[in-house]
Structure 1
Amino acid sequence: MNISSYNFHAPSSLFFSWYDYILFGVMLSISVLIGIYFGCFGTKQSTANEYLMGDKRMKPFIITMSLIASHISGTTLLGLPADAYRYGGTFLLSGISMFFVVLATIYIYLPVFYNLQITSLYEYLELRFDNRTKKLVSLLYILYSFLILPLIIYAASLAVSTATGLQMSTIIPLVCTTCIFYTSIGGFKAVIWTDAFQCIITQTSVIIVFVLGIKSVGGFTEICTRAIDSGRLDLFNFEFDITKRHSFWTIVIGVSFIWLSNTSVYQTCAQKFLAVSTLQGAKLTVIFYGIGIVAIKAICVLLGLVIYANYHDCDPFTTKEVTSNDQLVPYFVMEVAKGAPGLAGVFTAGIMSSGLSGLSANLNCLAGTIYVDFLAQFLPHISEKTKCGILKLLVVVAGIVCLGMAFVMQYLGGIIPLTITFQAVTNGPILGIFTLGLCVPRASAKAAFYGAIIGLISISGIVVPAQYFQSQGLMNDLPKPVSTENCTFYNQTLVPETVPNETFILFKISYFFYSLIGSIVTLVVGLLISFMDNSDFTVDEKLITPLAHFLLPENKKAEYRSVDAALKSLKHLK
């Protein structure tokens, strides 16, 4: 709806009380103390392997907690409820997507990566293809990290700013410096244990807000009734329209590829799977991780429907009490918190925790990728102490860069579409190139490299113009209906909202399909080049997923190059 005229009084500010500040301060202090313990006491992360992988002796439960914490960031806790409030709860269907993702990870990707026992996931690409391909994909991961980490920082800082009234210019450095400190000195074990602590804080806070929200509106039945009446629970829309923001196929197909790229071939996630002491334990971790992710995302979607039920007759967007999607959840929490002392502090600490978890995990992996894939070859004979010092320095430098970039995130649009857009540009081609290497024995290094290049160019050619048209108001997704009939001190005239249709259909494709497109283009181009390439080579079956071993010709199963020898060479460089 567009507002042609309005007249209202803004509500009184709702900020932290003294006990909220205490709870918030305790959370930050515990995170820092965990980093200090592992950095200055404990085992002190004395080797590069321990600093990056926890010496590969981690247990499934603690890794699962860390994975959930680092993947349920502020972009989820703020963006997903707001998305459900405005566009409906179709994302509840993502549980179907995760089922396929878990199966693919366990049976296609994980067995090969785990048995190779590599530190950086991109080392596989050098073993399977060549150094040029590894460098390309490593650069794509680094690019993605520097795009997405500032967004994570911004989302966490926004929640704190809304709750405390402090300026973003104060909050952003606080978030970053806290995380940089305990990540740099504590290494992988500090990341894991702070993630576990922060996961408990985050999920507890979300559940408390969810329960109080249900109570405030009169029960879950009333929430469902209002959601159904407004069309927000129209889950089984089987219309196949690639331009439709939410539908059954958009979520089940599109989200499957998003989560597959964020789970199976994503360094931050794979590094934790590979840190578990056994392959069976790693598989259990994948299963528990999938269950946990689906559960918390379902709660976030339902929280969005709870918020709608509370504001179904007085939309805060229309009254301008909330001016962006990212402010809706903090606004609702501050209202609910009036009757629950300390709740605002707990929830805001949860948002901050989710941001710290995502930031710390990615900084640790980013430092490891930069060192292993780019610096190690130039520093072949340095001591373990020096390696750890370099890794710590990389964490600090990367954190400072992300801190600076976080200040521009508020000008780039809504959190959820922006996150998925950033993911698609890099993660789609990365998923395609790994899948090509694992599943197609005939795929050559040339096919992988140029497939990734063309996949990257193709998806960028869709995403960049789409973002431009979106920013110019030439494309808008129609939200579900809202009302202001019972707003106090509010009088306005509403006119129906229209959506311009001047843009080409290619640029109106739902952003949920971006990762799918990037990976498919990479795969198809890679296959075409492979079958046109008459080069005769064989590949070690250890580099091919067990499900594709039947594609290996019997007379070509001899090693093209020794995997064991290549791994020893890589370890020597480290």
Structure 2
Amino acid sequence: MDAPVTITFSWYDYVIFGCMLGISAIIGIYFGCFGTKQSTPVEYLMGGKKMGAVPIAVSLVASHVSGLTLLAVPAEVYKFGAAYWLIALAFVLVVVVTIYVYLPVLFYSETPSVYSYLGKRFDEKTRMLSSFFFVLTLVMFLPIVIYIPALALSAATGISVNYISPTICAICIFYTTIGGLKTVVWTDNIQLTLAVCAIIVVLILGVDATGGFSEVWLKATKGQRLDFFDFDPDVTRSNNFWAPFVGLTFLWISWTNTNQSCIQKLFSVSTFKEAKLATVLYGIGMSLMATFGILMGLIIYAKYSNCDPFLTNQLTRNDELVPFYVLDVGGHIPGIAGLFIAGVFSVGLSTYSAQLNCMSATIYDDFVSKFVSKSLSDGRKNTILKVIVVVCGVISTGLVFVVERLGGMFGLAQAFSGIPAGPLLGMFTLGILFRRANSHGAFYGGIVGLVVIMCLSLPAKYLESQRMIVLPEKPVGVDGCNFDTNVTFVNVNDDGVSFAIFRISYYYTTMIGFLVTLVCGLAVSYATTKNVVDENLLSPVIRKVQNSLSN
């Protein structure tokens, strides 16, 4: 590294970034003001159930990638190693379990909200509890989705995050509000295409700047970044095999099958066969995007392994690493920085718009509809849905200023998204796989699961923010710097022993919540009244097992 990097954003970059936002807004105006104009709730929320498997799969990938994959994952690899790569293996199980266990039941539920299933299987209070868990997920997760790309743009332009976040959110809220699901899907496709192009360009530049892919792999191996096939059973570690593989399997089974955003899009295709195809393509796409993020992290490590920008005080936050790197290797090429930052923002906006759209479906179907007239016109319903999008968007925008004070975004996102995801998966699993489970078990199991996991996760994040718990980082150095360095070492209070229970890896958040909910739910169910179950509300797996035993 020849000299400290100076981050700048040229007019070319501003033009490319502005074009991305402009195209997204135009698509929203088109679907909102022309064509069918999203005139009914089914059209607004599910595209009239006429969407194709491929655009839905692309939209699913775009709306679940977010800036985490492009900014937080590479920084995680740089600091802690490439264990997150095991998500590709985890998604094999996610796709299989989704297609054969959960999706056959949920797809034929014929309701806008996936949580209606729990209302049919159990009762209304269980349905409303699950909807509350989902809304809680988004309240905790969406501010992170916006903050990460806003931080990247701030690092590249010098404009404060406090100005960027509200402006970008306003544009996203606008085109999501007027355009509905069709706008979300088509902007997702365009935005993901832009993001992939940006990633490929940066990867090519990065490999060239570090001396070739073989050199990248050699440095990553020597730097212990590829030591993730480590079968140490220590649950406090996040960079061994078990934590990411097991933890991400549970998290993504939950996100795929109990998250309204994912299920709502799978509902928008016309046949179950297309829904299965979309699920397979979604799994492949998610694995590829994760691989892109991992490769970027390895390339960045190869570039800075001997001149760490954190030790030399060029950077203070992990989430600034990728834009710093992009400006370093591509800043001399007009438009490259703008292309990449636009790509990062694209996937962030995809996630944000998709979640806003599905949150409006959930809040309306599971809460608001109980207080409005059954004879309410489709036009009035659409208006209410759009108002919900605006209100939720404003709230999530305001919470951006809270999450920026909570430390590293990768671990924060994994923990926060996993807190409600575990109890939700437990409640759906009780209904779909356990005939004996009843409404009392699902309801109280979900509450206990949420309380337990919050009592573990929230204190852990606080202790990390106070540096009373510090995750061990992989080695870096400053021997290769060709400029004067002012290395700073931060004192921490971590003695490696205290707060043992709060040291459990954030990857296990969903699994713990799931297991607590499942065990508590079954215990309560067996201790209370047995109920009659509609066989169509049970997974085909259970019905096949029952038929085999009967024969």
Same fold (TM over 0.5): yes
Alignment of 1:67-146 (within 5 A): 67-146=60-139
SS at structure 2 position matched to 1:55:
helix
* 1:389 alignment counterpart: 383
Alignment of 1:399-548 (within 5 A): 399-487=393-481, 488-492=483-487, 499-533=494-528, 535-548=529-542
Is 1:20 equivalent to 2:10 in the alignment?
A: no
The question of whether the paired residues in 1 share the 8 Å contact of 2:452 and 2:513 is answered with: yes
* 2:286 alignment counterpart: 293
Quote the Cα distance in structure 2 between the aligned partners of 1:519 and 1:237: 25
Q: TM-score, normalised by structure 1?
A: 0.93
Q: Which runs of 5+ in 2 are unaligned?
A: none
Quote the Cα distance in structure 1 between the aligned partners of 2:286 and 2:429: 23
Deviations 1:114-134 (A, max 9, x none): 112221000000000000000
Q: 1:267 aligns with which of 260, 263, 288?
A: 260
* 2:303 alignment counterpart: 310
Q: 1:219 aligns with which of 185, 199, 212?
A: 212
Q: How many residues of Structure 1 are paired with residues of Structure 2 in the alignment?
A: 547
Note closer, same or farther for the CA distance 1:403–1:494 as it changes in structure 2 (3 Å cut).
closer
Quote the Cα distance in structure 1 between the aligned partners of 2:152 and 2:145: 11
* 1:64 alignment counterpart: 57
Q: What is the Cα deviation at residue 185 of structure 1?
A: 0.3
Quote the Cα distance in structure 1 between the aligned partners of 2:292 and 2:487: 34
Greater shift, 428-437 or 401-410, is seen at 401-410
Quote the Cα distance in structure 1 between the aligned partners of 2:152 and 2:439: 46
Is 1:330 equivalent to 2:323 in the alignment?
A: yes
Q: TM-score, normalised by structure 2?
A: 0.96
Deviations 1:99-158 (A, max 9, x none): 000000000111111112221000000000000000111011111111111111111211
Deviations 1:472-522 (A, max 9, x none): 211111100000012211154869988422423221100000100000110
Note closer, same or farther for the CA distance 1:360–1:492 as it changes in structure 2 (3 Å cut).
closer
The question of whether the paired residues in 2 share the 8 Å contact of 1:313 and 1:483 is answered with: yes
Note closer, same or farther for the CA distance 1:278–1:478 as it changes in structure 2 (3 Å cut).
same
Letter in 1 for 2:147: Y
Q: 2:273 aligns with which of 277, 280, 285?
A: 280
* 1:567 alignment counterpart: none
Note closer, same or farther for the CA distance 1:492–1:76 as it changes in structure 2 (3 Å cut).
closer
Quote the Cα distance in structure 1 between the aligned partners of 2:305 and 2:111: 52
The question of whether the paired residues in 1 share the 8 Å contact of 2:467 and 2:493 is answered with: no
Quote the Cα distance in structure 2 between the aligned partners of 1:272 and 1:385: 22
Quote the Cα distance in structure 2 between the aligned partners of 1:505 and 1:214: 41
Deviations 1:417-475 (A, max 9, x none): 11111112111100000011000011000000010011011111111221222122111
Letter in 1 for 2:496: N
Note closer, same or farther for the CA distance 1:56–1:321 as it changes in structure 2 (3 Å cut).
same
The question of whether the paired residues in 1 share the 8 Å contact of 2:13 and 2:339 is answered with: yes
The question of whether the paired residues in 1 share the 8 Å contact of 2:436 and 2:530 is answered with: no
Is 1:39 equivalent to 2:32 in the alignment?
A: yes
Note closer, same or farther for the CA distance 1:550–1:34 as it changes in structure 2 (3 Å cut).
same
SS at structure 1 position matched to 2:305:
coil
Deviations 1:190-226 (A, max 9, x none): 1110011001011111111111101100101000110
SS at structure 1 position matched to 2:224:
coil
Deviations 1:272-321 (A, max 9, x none): 11111110000000000000000110110111010010011100010111
Quote the Cα distance in structure 1 between the aligned partners of 2:302 and 2:7: 21
Q: CA RMSD in A?
A: 1.9
SS at structure 2 position matched to 1:288:
helix
Q: 1:157 aligns with which of 150, 158, 178?
A: 150
SS at structure 1 position matched to 2:331:
helix
Note closer, same or farther for the CA distance 1:189–1:292 as it changes in structure 2 (3 Å cut).
same
* 1:5 alignment counterpart: none
SS at structure 1 position matched to 2:313:
coil
Quote the Cα distance in structure 1 between the aligned partners of 2:101 and 2:194: 34
Letter in 2 for 1:153: I
Quote the Cα distance in structure 2 between the aligned partners of 1:550 and 1:527: 21
Quote the Cα distance in structure 2 between the aligned partners of 1:29 and 1:180: 13
The question of whether the paired residues in 2 share the 8 Å contact of 1:477 and 1:499 is answered with: no
The question of whether the paired residues in 1 share the 8 Å contact of 2:313 and 2:487 is answered with: no
Question: Percentage identity across aligned positions?
Answer: 45
Quote the Cα distance in structure 2 between the aligned partners of 1:526 and 1:491: 56
Deviations 1:14-47 (A, max 9, x none): 2211111111111111000000000001210000
The question of whether the paired residues in 1 share the 8 Å contact of 2:449 and 2:514 is answered with: yes
Note closer, same or farther for the CA distance 1:409–1:468 as it changes in structure 2 (3 Å cut).
closer
Quote the Cα distance in structure 2 between the aligned partners of 1:18 and 1:300: 27
Quote the Cα distance in structure 2 between the aligned partners of 1:267 and 1:494: 44
SS at structure 2 position matched to 1:72:
helix
SS at structure 1 position matched to 2:108:
helix
Greater shift, 335-344 or 284-293, is seen at 335-344
Note closer, same or farther for the CA distance 1:537–1:321 as it changes in structure 2 (3 Å cut).
same
SS at structure 1 position matched to 2:308:
coil
Quote the Cα distance in structure 2 between the aligned partners of 1:419 and 1:280: 33
Note closer, same or farther for the CA distance 1:179–1:532 as it changes in structure 2 (3 Å cut).
same
Quote the Cα distance in structure 2 between the aligned partners of 1:551 and 1:529: 24
The question of whether the paired residues in 2 share the 8 Å contact of 1:97 and 1:252 is answered with: yes
